[in-house]
A and B are shown apart, each in its own frame.
Chain A
Amino acid sequence: MRTIIARISEHLENFGEQLLQFIPDLLVIIIIVLSGFIAAALVNRLLQKGFRAVRFDTWSDQIGLTTAFRKAGITNPPSRFIGSFIYWFIIVLFFVAGFATLGFRVTDALVSVFFLYLPRFFSAVIIVLLGYFIANFLARAVLIAGVNSGIEYSKALSELVRILLLVLAFAMALEQLAIAPKIVLAAFVIFFGSIGLAVAVAFGMAGRSYAKKALDFLLSRRDGNNLDQL
């Protein structure tokens, strides 16, 4: 019985010593995390000021970012959403930095993976955002040009352009994130190849007369257009 009690007290003493040794590390983590909250709040405030100065929300309206966010269920203005995203990102960053101070092998490995993955993550985000803007802009351009050229299926054409460009952007982002790159590449090739084949077959077989009509229409437009004598 005595031996058991002695072993327990020995373990408790060891745990106590280890706990005492860990307290400074814990304090360091708490300080780092608290600094993270302060830094995040500061950066967020500066960002909001900057966004207001450059009228970021108005610009977002123009390029369709606000609409895109609304469609994705984000009702806050884009400036506030981006501010919040960066706020929480900084906090996560400080959390990770705090755990790195422990010097454990596991945390060290996690921290390395985290920091190594960051550039890929940001590249992917930028690719998706750029892809979204370009897809919207070009889809709208196709829609307007189609309508002004008298093409009945302008909307379908515009949606096709939007979907193709979004698929392209997502495939590029996934490749950047190194998520099953071979599968993504194969899926991508199959997707675009199928579309090309489908269009060729449709035009060659079912849509021959329509293609002829479309070409006749386009060529006839070159012979005259009575929009206005200014």
Chain B
Amino acid sequence: MQTRTQTPEGEIEASSLPDSADIVVGIASYNNSRTIGHVVRAVDAGLAKYFPSEKAVIINSDGGSVDKTPEMVINASVDHKAVFLSHRLHPVNRITTPYHGIPGKGSAFRTIFKMASALGAKACCVVDADLRSITPEWIELLLSPVYKEGFDFVAPLYARHKYDGTITNSIIYPLTRSLYCRKIRQPIGGEFGFSGEMAKFYVGQDVWNTDIARFGIDIWMTTEALAGRFKVCQAYLGAKIHDPKDPGADLRDMFVQVVGSLMSLTEKHNREWRSATDSIEVPTFGFKYQVGVVPIKASVEGMLRHFRLGAENLGEIWAGFMDKEKVDALARMSRAEASGFRFPKELWVRMVYDYILAYHHRKLQPEQLLKTLIPLYYGRTASFFLETAEMNDEEAEAVVEDVCAEYERQKSYLVSNWQEGGK
């Protein structure tokens, strides 16, 4: 028999928590009633199948859903016989609780970290509530490296369409790899495994009034694990398919929060990354297999229109922290025909480094600075789409790896200009 608890609004009641737990699985949600039932069932089955004798708790940290998401968490049930599972030694507790603080994924995770620390969990993982492709095996892959192999942090590794995850491919992955010299392919994947010690470390940090409390949480978790020299690995989970994003959410804000968090972490950990050279592979768990991925459709014409508009209007602002030659090159590119449009990777990488330096040397108010990067990101993404139009996913991946190598080649530019003050 499972224990099911729903905490009232406000404080988490100590009486509603179990005394302790070996494993904690956290699910951050906001109006995910369509998918969260499936996620909870997969987690429950995963715990029953791979951790049958461990004390486990599922924590749903909810942002005030109005579509009965918490009820779905409590009521989701798995027919264990149908998936060939026997009864567990310990029941799986389910707790659903509202979180406090700035509305966002980060604040939801904070509540999960706090509860995991209070329960003395040995291994934890977090999964998104909008997942459609999660299977019980994801739970094993995210938890076992921590629980059985002694790793501190497990990043996900997915099979994705070549056009999926363009912020990851053009900025987050190459930059994280170049700075911290470890090849974590999906630093902002959304699903992570981590040790109880790591949860305590996370909860002890004073970042909960920044963008990290919003969408900056993923890059923050990964970067802290890398910069703090924790034992890091990645686990292959297969394809990631999730619900379409909330159409009301402004994705430009998401861009600013993620890239802004990465830049603020670059400030914080500058001693670590300035001395790091030559990226290395990290251990990868899971069985790699070919999987059909959902094709992503995007309008290259629309992206180019955004880029051109930026190049026409933002040149004066860019000139405040970039060389004139680069600004002129952007203006020339903006006049090119769509079919022949290319945004060279060398120029793109140098500009990203210029942005990091401008952020560091406070050349512009941070939010305004980050928003001026969006048209350039559109330009680079359009160029990537055009360049890889005839390629399969593997060939497009090779292009991403080329960009990573370029980031590593030009890292000395960032290091040498860090103290000097940039342009």
Contact = CB atoms under 8 A, between A and B. Distances in A.
Interface of A: 58-59, 61-62, 137, 140-141, 143-148, 150, 152, 154-155, 222-230
A62 B362 contact: yes
A144 B247 contact: no
Contacts of A141: 368
21 contacts: A61-B363, A62-B362, A62-B364, A137-B365, A144-B317, A144-B372, A145-B371, A148-B374, A154-B309, A154-B313, A222-B248, A224-B247, A225-B247, A225-B251, A226-B296, A226-B298, A227-B252, A229-B164, A229-B245, A229-B296, A230-B168
B207 to A, nearest CB: 19
Contacts of A144: 314, 317, 368, 371-372
A144 B372 CA distance: 6
B29 to A, nearest CB: 17
Interface of B: 164-168, 188, 190, 215, 218, 242, 245, 247-248, 251-252, 254-255, 258, 296-299, 305-306, 309-310, 312-314, 317, 361-365, 368, 371-372, 374-375
Contacts of B362: 58-59, 62
- Describe A's contact surface by its main secondary structure: helix
Contacts of B218: 230
A155 B254 contact: no
A217 to B, nearest CB: 12
Given A147-B375, A223-B247, A230 B188 contact: yes
Contact of B255 (A137, A145, A227): A227
Contact of B309 (A61, A150, A224, A228): A150
A230 B314 contact: no
A228 B247 contact: no
A226 B247 contact: no
A154 B361 CA distance: 27
A37 to B, nearest CB: 36
Contacts of B312: 155
Residue among B168, B299, B364 with most chain A CB within 10 A: B364
Contacts of B299: 226
Contacts of B248: 222
A228 B368 contact: no
Given A61-B363, A143-B314, A144-B368, 12 more contacts: A59-B362, A62-B363, A146-B313, A147-B309, A147-B314, A147-B375, A152-B309, A154-B309, A224-B247, A226-B296, A229-B164, A230-B165
A152 B374 CA distance: 16
Nearest to A222: B247
Contacts of B361: 58
Nearest to B249: A225
Nearest to A226: B298
Contacts of A146: 313
A140 B317 contact: yes
A63 to B, nearest CB: 8
B371 A148 contact: yes
A150 B245 contact: no
A139 to B, nearest CB: 11
B313 A147 contact: yes
